[in-house]
Amino acid sequence: MEKQRTAILTLDDGRSLELPILSGSLGPDVVDMRGLSKLGMFTYDPAFMATASCTSGITFIDGDKGLLYYRGYPIEQLAEKSDFLEVCYLLLNGELPNAQQKADFSYKVTMHTMVHDQLARFYNGFRRDAHPMAVMVGVVGALSAFYHDSLDINNPEHRETSALRLIAKVPNIAAMAYKYNTGYPFMFPQNKFGYVENFMYMMFGTPCEEYVPNPVLVRALERIFILHADHEQNASTSTVRLAGSSGANPFACVASGIAALWGPAHGGANEAALKMLEEIGDASRVKEYVAGVKDKKYRLMGFGHRVYKNMDPRASVMRQTCYEVLKELKLENNKLFELALELERTALSDPYFVERKLYPNVDFYSGIVLRALGIPTNMFTVIFALARTIGWVSQWNEMVGDAEQKIGRPRQLYRGAAKRDFVPLDRR
C-alpha cells in the first residue's frame, strides 16, 4: 500500500501538526485541514481562493489548460454530439443513458412540465416590470409549497422526483416570467416538442398562430443550455450546497442558487456584457474603452474568471455558435459581433489582460446569440438559471447522498470590539 503523503505545519511556538495530503482522480492535491482544530486554529481563506469545500464527482475544470468535463466527458464533445436532456441525465446519474434510459428520462421530464394552476396566480402579485430574476427567485422557491409529496430529502425517490420537477418546470416558470412581463398569455407546454423547442414555444408562441421552431436556433439554445449546465463549486452552486446542508428542501435551495446567480460578477455578466457592447457602440471606440478598463474605471464584462486562466472552453463553442446563428438569420454583418471580436483581439494583445490571464468567458459571446434568438436582455440570466438548475440539483443530490455530509458552517477571523460593558443611553 502506498504511504499516506502528509504536510507538516509548524507554528512559531514550536507546535506542529501533520496533515494528510489527499489526491483526486484529476486536478491538484489538497491538504486535509480538518485536524487543524487540534491546535485551536482555523484557516483564513476569504472567497475560498484556496479551499476545496467538498469532494465531488460531477464536474472537473482545469483552469490553466482551459478544460471542462462533465462526468469525465469534455464539454466540446457534449456541445457537439449530445443534447440537453442527455446531459441532465449524465450530470444527475453519473453515466450517459442508453436508448431506453434516455427515452424514459425524457418521458418523465415531459410528464412534469405543467405547473400547479395555483402557482400561475403568484405572477399577479408581481409588478409587470419586475425583473424576471426576481420572479424566478420567488416562484421557484414557492414550488416547495406545492409539492409536499417529494420533500423527504432522505428518500432517494423523493429526491429524484424533485429533480425531475425542477428540470421540467423551471423552463415553464421562466417563460411565464417573460410572458407576464410583456402582457402576453401564458402558454401551456406541448408534449409534441422536445425540451428546448418547448421552451422556445412557451417564450415565443401565442395562442393565435402555430409555432414552428427553427432547428438551427433550437440547436444554438440547446448548446447554451449544455454549456451552462454545471461548473463545479461556483458561487451559486456553493450557495445551493450550503442551503441544502441544513436539510432545506431542493426547491428552496435552488431558489437560493438563483439569487446568488443574479449578481453581475456571476450569472448577470452576460446581460452586463451585452449592455457594455451596446455602450461601446462601434469598433472605433474599442481602444478608448479598453483604456478605461486599464484605468480601473470599470471592468470588461465577460472577461476573466476565478478558475480559468486560459480561454474558457465554453467561450470558444459560443463564438462558433455566434457564426452559425448569425448566418442562419442572415445577420452576418452583425455590428455587436464584430465589435466583440475586435474587443477580444484588442484585449488579448494587451499586456494588462495577458499578464492577468484575462480571457473571454462564456458570457462574452452568449449575449449576442441570445439577442439574435430574440431573447430580451433581462431574460439572459434567467436562461442561465434554467440551464444551471440541473447542475444545482445534481450537486445538491450528491451532497445529500454523501454519508459524510454535515451542515456547512465556516468560521471567521473576528476583528470587532473586545468585551466591553453596556453604556446607558444618557452616558453615550
Residues recognised as catalytic = 266, 305, 363
Pair type for strands 73-74 and 67-70: antiparallel
Query: What does R_g of the chain's alpha carbons equal in angstroms?
Result: 23
Let me know: does 317 contact 78? Beta carbons within 8 Å: no
Instruction: Closer to ligand ACO by CB, 248 or 290: give it.
Output: 290
- In the chain, the amino acid numbered 159 is R
Q: Taking a C-beta distance cutoff of 8 angstroms, is the pair 9, 16 a contact?
A: yes
CB 397 within 8 A of CB 150: no
Query: 302 or 391, CB closer to ligand ACO?
Result: 302
Q: Please say which residue, 132 or 304, places its beta carbon nearer to ligand ACO.
A: 304
For ligand ACO, the closer of residues 63 and 194 by Cβ is 63
CB of 368 to ligand ACO, least distance (A): 14
Beta strands in 136-267 (DSSP E): none
Give the nearer residue to ligand ACO in terms of CB position, either 47 or 208: 47
Nearest residue to ligand ACO, scored by beta-carbon proximity: 304
Amino acid found at 229 = A
* Residue 93, number of CB atoms within 10 A of its CB: 16
Q: What is the dihedral of CA 252, 254, 256, 257, to 10 degrees?
A: 170
Contact 407, 246 (CB under 8 A): yes
- Nine-digit cell at 130? 419586475
Task: Measure the CA–CA gap between 53 and 408, rounded to whole angstroms.
Answer: 9
Give the residue with the Cβ less far from ligand ACO, 213 or 304.
Answer: 304
Kindly tell me the burial class for residue 143, based on how many C-beta atoms sit within 10 Å of its own C-beta (0-12, 13-18, 19 or more): buried
Closest approach of ligand ACO to the CB of residue 301, in Å: 5
The one-letter amino acid code at 275 reads: K
> How many residues are listed for the chain in this entry?
428
State the residues that interact with ligand ACO by CB under 6 A: 265-267, 269, 293, 299-306, 356, 358, 361-363
DSSP state, residue 206: B
Identify which of residues 269 and 399 has a Cβ nearer to ligand ACO in the complex.
Answer: 269
Query: In whole angstroms, how close is the CB of 295 to ligand ACO at the nearest point?
Result: 10
Contact at 8 Å (CB) between 174 and 199? yes
Alpha-carbon 283 to chain mean position: 30
Element (H, E) at 6: strand 6-10
